[in-house]
Structure 1
Amino acid sequence: MGKEPDAAFSRLSDSFSFDRRLYGEDVDASLAWARALGRARVLTESEVEALVAGLEEVRGTLADPAFEPLPTDEDIHTAVERLLTEQVGPVAGKLHTGRSRNDQVATDFRLWVMRACDRIEVAILDLARAMVQSARAGVDLPMPGYTHMRPAQPVTWGHWMLSAFWPLLRSRDRFALARASASVLPLGSAALAGTAYPIDRQAIADDLGFESVSPNSIDAISDRDFAVEYLFAAAMLGVNLSRHAEGLILYSGPEYGFVELDEGYTSGSSLMPQKRNPGALELTRAKAGRLVGHLTGLLTTLKGLPSAYDNDLQEDKPPVFDAHDTLLEVLPVLTGLIGTLQLHPSRMAAAITPDMLSTDLADYLVGKGLPFREAHAVAG
C-alpha cells in the first residue's frame, strides 16, 4: 500500500483503547510462538532467548497503567511489536514468522476468555456461599410463597433463597462450557491457509493451557462461537440475578418487610430525607438489559459474515469485555448485600394467612378418600 490511510479511517479502526487489556495474553502467546519457532529450527537458541527476555520487559512496560501508546500503535499487537523492537532490535521482526494477525488475535482473545471464565467462577462461588449462609439462617423461618405475585403456599426463607442458588450453579456450568469452547488453539492457522513451517501446535497448546488444537484453519480464525457462548452465559446469569433482585426489592419494601437491606447497599433521595432506596438491587436489575444487549449485538455482527477473517470481528471484544466488567461489579455487590440482610421472622409469619393452607386441606381430604377434584372444590 502506497497511500497512507485516511485519518478518520485510522481513528475508526484504532482498537488500542479496548484491546490493550489483552497485553498479557499477547505476550504469553508470543512467548509460546517464539519457543515453537525455536523448536522448529526457524530461530536459533540465542534468538529465542533474546525474544523471551524482551517480551517479559514488554509485559512490565504494558502493565504500568500510565503507559501511553504512540499514534502508530493502532492496537495492542503493534504496540507489543514496537516495544519489543526497542528492546531487542531487528530480531523482533522474526517473531511474526509464520504467524498472521488473524490467528494471533484469535489466540489472544480465546486465552483471555478462558481466564475471564475462571475469574467469574470465583465471583459466582462467593455469591453462592453467601446465599447458602442466608438460607441456613432462615432454614426454619416460614414465609408466604407467591405465584402470579399473589399469596400461594407457605415456604421457608431458606427454600426461597436457594431458589436463586441453583440457577447460580447452572451459570457456573455455562461459563465452564464457554471456557471449554474457547480452549481450542488457533495459533498456527496463520491468515487462513495454515503455516508453511513445521510448528508443533500441540506443544503450543500445552504451553498456553489449551485443551486441543483447531482442526480447520479457516474456521479457526473466524470462529467466535466461544465469545457468543460467554455472552450467553453472562446474559443468562444477569437475567437470573435480576429476577432475584426483584424479589429482594419487594420483600425489603415496607409493604412486605420480610428483610431489611444494610444501608451500605441503599441510596437516598436528594429531596426526601427518609428514603432508603434499594439502589444496588435496582442496578443489578438494570444491568441484565445491558448483558442481553451485548449478546444480541454480537450475534447481529456475526450473522452476515463470510468465512475467514473480516474486520467486523474487531467488534467482538468490547461487548465481551464490558460483560465481564459488569458481572465483576454486580456479583461482589450482591454477595455483600445478601451477607448483610437482616431477616424479620415476625413479618414473614404474620403474612401467612389461613387460606394459604387450602392445598394442605385438599390433600387431607384426599387422604380421607375424597377424589382430588372434589377435595379441591371443597377446600377452595
Structure 2
Amino acid sequence: MDDSPESAATSPMNRAWGGRFSGGPAAVMQAINASIPFDKRLWRHDIAGSIAHARMLGATGIIAMSDAEAIIEGLSALAEEFEAHGVPEDPALEDIHMTVEAKLAERIGDAAGRLHTARSRNDQVATSFRLWVRDAIDGHVAALDSFIATLARRAEDEAATILPGFTHLQVAQPVTLGHHLLAYAEMLGRDIDRFLDARSRMNLCPLGAAALAGTGFPIDREMTARLLGFDAPTANSLDSVSDRDFALDYLCAAAQCALHLSRLAEEIILWASQPFGFVLLPDQWSTGSSIMPQKRNPDAAELVRGHAGRILGLMTGLMATMKGLPLAYAKDMQDDKEPLFEAHDLLALSIAAMAGMMADIGFDRTRMRAAAATGHATATDLADWLVREKGLPFREAHHLVGRAVRAAEERGVGLQDLPEAVLAGLDPRLSGAGRAPLSLEASVASRTSPGGTAPVRVREAAARLLARGEASP
C-alpha cells in the first residue's frame, strides 16, 4: 500500500479510523488486524443490529426518518446479496462491521454514514456476537432435544434387555440397556439446562453503550433491545463492551456437553470391540482399514471423543485470553470469536454424529445377557434376600455372600448354581438361599425404586422424556 497522505486519506481503513492517521498500515499490521475471514459469519447479526439501531435513530429524531428508511432498505438489500453470493473479504475493511458499512455506502451514498451515530464498533460487536451466541444455543438445544427423543425411543425398545452394569469396568449388577441409554438422556437434559441458563443470563442488549462511556444522544435503548429480542439493555456501559462472560458461559456448556458425548462415544467404541461385541455399527457409521480387510472401525465415535478435547482447549484458551484484561475494550478480544465458532461447529457435528449412530446402531442382546451373567452379578440380590428373609443386618449378609462367592469361584460355577448343601455348610443362615430369586431377569425386575433399572421404570422414564419433547416449542 502507498503510504502517501493522498492514498491513505482515501483508504477504506482510514475512513474507518478518521483523520487521525495520515499514513496507511503496514501489510503485516493489516493482516493481523483483519478479522473478516472469520467474523463474516456474523453478517446476519450485524445487519439485524444495524437495522434496529437505524429504526431507533429515526424514531427518536436523532437522524432524519428518510435517512433511517434509506439505511434500512439498503441493509435489507445487502442481506439478500450476502445470502445469494456470500460476504466479500477485503482486509482493508478489517471486519464484517466495516464491510457492511462500506457496502451500504456504495448502495445509498452519504446517508450510510449516519448509521454509526450514537454507537461504536465496541457495542456493535458485542451485540452482534451475543445475537450469534443466542442463535447457536437455540440450535444446540433443538439438536439435543431430538437426540434425547432418539435415546428415549431406543430405551423403550430395550426396556427389558439385560446388560451388565459396571463399576471400575468390572461387572457389578445387571441393569437394562434401556436404563443405561436413559442415563445419557439425563446428561443431555442437563446440558440443555446449562445452555438455556447461559442464554437467559446473556439476553441483555449492549447496543447504546457506545465505546465505553455511553452516548450523549437521546437514544432509546429499550427500543433497540426489544427490536432484537433482548429482555432489556445492559446496565453498565463499561461492562457492556468488555464483558465476554456470555461467550465463556457458552463454551463451558459446550465443553460439558462434549464430555457427555465423549463418554457415550467411548462406550460405543468399547462395545464395538470384539472382546465386548455388544453392538454392531452399521456401514454408514464405520470405516475400514487400508491394510486389514476385516476391520470395521468406529471412527465417528472416536472423532467425537477427540472433538471433546478440542472444545475443552478452546474454552481454556478464551479464559486465558480474558483473565488479565483491564476495562474496557482491548484488541485481544478480537480473538474471542474463533474459539466459539470452532467449538460450535465441532459440537454441532458431534451431536449429529452421536444421534445418528444411536438411531442406527444394532445391539447384540444375547452377547449382553451372557456378559451380565458373569462375575456373580446377582450377589447383591442374595444379600438383600438374607436381609428380607433372615433378618440379617446388611453388613453381615454382605459378609456371608462374599464367602458364598468365594466358594462358587473355587468350584467354577455361578453363585446361583451352588448346591444347597454347600450353601448351608458355609453358614446355616444360608440355608434356603438356593431358592432366592437370583436370575438376571428377577434382579432387574426387582429394582423398582424411583430411577431404578426395572423395565417398568424404564418405560415410564422414556415416556416422560418423549412427552416433554412433544411439549417443547
Which one of the candidate residues 100, 109, 117 is aligned to 1:97? 117
- How far 1:65 moved relative to its partner? 4.5
Contact 2:151 2:358 in 1 (8 A): yes
Indicate the structure (1 or 2) with the bigger Cα radius of gyration: 2
CA distance in 2, matches of 1:139, 1:9: 62
1:365 aligns with 2:386: yes
1:27 aligns with 2:38: no
Matching of residues 54-203 of structure 1 within 5 Å: 54-203=74-223
One-letter code of the match for 1:328?
A
1:295-318 Cα shifts (integer Å, max 9, x gaps): 000000000000110001000000
Contact 1:251 1:257 in 2 (8 A): yes
Which one of the candidate residues 314, 325, 331 is aligned to 2:345? 325
Contact 2:286 2:299 in 1 (8 A): yes
Structure 1 partner of 2:421:
none
CA distance in 1, matches of 2:152, 2:328: 47
Contact 1:194 1:217 in 2 (8 A): yes
SS of 2:166's partner is strand
Identity %: 46
SS of 1:72's partner is helix
1:200-228 Cα shifts (integer Å, max 9, x gaps): 11111110000121110000000000000
Matching of residues 295-306 of structure 1 within 5 Å: 295-306=315-326
CA distance in 2, matches of 1:135, 1:283: 25
CA distance in 2, matches of 1:298, 1:233: 14
Structure 1 partner of 2:309:
289
Structure 2 partner of 1:268:
288
- Any unmatched runs of 5+ in structure 2? 1-20, 403-473
Contact 1:34 1:48 in 2 (8 A): yes
- Any unmatched runs of 5+ in structure 1? none
SS of 1:151's partner is strand
Contact 1:111 1:182 in 2 (8 A): no
- How far 1:73 moved relative to its partner? 2.1
SS of 1:146's partner is strand
CA distance in 2, matches of 1:243, 1:132: 18
Structure 2 partner of 1:315:
335
Larger RCO (alpha carbons 8 Å, 6+ apart): 1
1:114-167 Cα shifts (integer Å, max 9, x gaps): 111111111111211111111111100111100001100000000111111101
1:87-106 Cα shifts (integer Å, max 9, x gaps): 10001000001110100000
CA distance in 2, matches of 1:211, 1:147: 46
CA distance in 1, matches of 2:130, 2:276: 46
One-letter code of the match for 1:357?
T
CA distance in 1, matches of 2:82, 2:30: 22
Q: Which moved more, 1:59-68 or 1:130-139?
A: 59-68
One-letter code of the match for 2:292?
M
1:250 aligns with 2:281: no
One-letter code of the match for 2:254?
A
1:36 aligns with 2:61: no
One-letter code of the match for 1:372?
F
Q: Which moved more, 1:178-187 or 1:162-171?
A: 178-187
CA distance in 1, matches of 2:298, 2:154: 18
SS of 2:92's partner is coil
SS of 1:285's partner is helix
CA distance in 1, matches of 2:116, 2:377: 71
Contact 1:268 1:275 in 2 (8 A): yes
How large is the Cα RMSD of the aligned pairs?
A: 1.1
Structure 2 partner of 1:229:
249
CA distance in 2, matches of 1:360, 1:136: 25
Structure 1 partner of 2:240:
220
1:343 aligns with 2:363: yes
Structure 1 partner of 2:401:
379
- How far 1:67 moved relative to its partner? 4.1
CA distance in 2, matches of 1:149, 1:344: 19
- How far 1:182 moved relative to its partner? 2.1
Contact 1:265 1:337 in 2 (8 A): yes
Contact 2:37 2:89 in 1 (8 A): no
Question: Number of residue pairs matched?
Answer: 380
CA distance in 2, matches of 1:370, 1:36: 77
Structure 1 partner of 2:454:
none
CA distance in 1, matches of 2:362, 2:91: 54
Query: Which TM-score applies when normalising by structure 1?
Result: 0.98
- How far 1:196 moved relative to its partner? 0.9
Q: Which moved more, 1:56-65 or 1:77-86?
A: 56-65
Contact 1:16 1:75 in 2 (8 A): yes
1:303-362 Cα shifts (integer Å, max 9, x gaps): 000011000100000000111111111111111110011121111111122611111111
Query: Which TM-score applies when normalising by structure 2?
Result: 0.79
CA distance in 2, matches of 1:328, 1:235: 12
